[in-house]
Structure 1
Amino acid sequence: MPSSHPQPTSPQPCTHEPLPSWIHRACRWLTVPMLVAVEVAVLWPSGNDVAQFKDSVGPWFLSLVGKDVILNFILMAPLAFLLTVGWPKVKPWIWAIAITALSALAETIQWAFPMLHRRSLFANVVENSLGGWLAIALAVLLMSWASKRWPQHNNH
């Protein structure tokens, strides 16, 4: 005999896109060239060239070591930001794990292929990952702010 009480329904999944869809699509498209840029940075076959580049683009007031640290923080940040904004339904911690794994893979490749003449350091994994995590946090904050500012982009 059917119950006269309504059956509870499971909550509907949230399809949360806090920004206009064209921004998410643009971030998805920009992810590809950013991945290529990271690949070039990781696989460039000359540690000297990389050091000279870092010295030329890093903040003038820092030593070469300081520039190396700052630019390692920056390396994964744009990619992490693009991934987080481009795919807002993916949990941020998934992107954090992905960025950390990509950083570890980059250093492993540099270690495994000495013909690249690159130095592989665990500190680089930490620096790349922290920069990526900060970018993910910034993307989450931006999307949270946007969803409050422009609620019409929330599709629940």
Structure 2
Amino acid sequence: MVKVTCSQLCEIAMALEACDVIFICVIQNDQEMLIPEGFEARIEAKGKWLIIKGWVPQVLILDHKSVCGFLTHCGWNSLFEGVSSGVAMVAWSVMAKQFYNAKLVTDVLQIGVSIGDVEWSATSTCDGVKREEIERAVARVMDVEDGEDMRMRA
């Protein structure tokens, strides 16, 4: 129901590249053309990042011992999968119950960091979050102390 805009995908890509953390980025096949020009070549040259186009076995990925963080839209399934895998989360709620779920993750359970809108909205746009905000959230989730505390609570 929610489509990521070209400009937002660019912000995500640039933030992940700037964080210099190992990541798996999953995009839908119809969004392949939205990947910033040269991004795949730059991360491929580093040899430690992966872009997957299409469906992935999310639970298997999250359960892997090297996965520490998860950027999620805060749908119930994703939250259950993240918690059961013991990963910290970057909570990016977009619409409906996702805002309440993000509050559960960040304020109650304290297993994640929120980005984007933090109040309920009936709209379903995934746009407007700048790379600096994404970088800060990813850095906190991947931090040795903060991130490890979040993972232990999860």
Is the structural similarity TM-score above 0.5? no
Normalising by structure 1, what TM-score? 0.22
> Between Structure 1 and Structure 2, which shows a larger proportion of strand residues?
2
Task: Name the TM-score, length of structure 2 as normaliser.
Answer: 0.22
User: Which has the higher Rg, Structure 1 or Structure 2?
Assistant: 1
Q: Which has the higher helix share?
A: 1
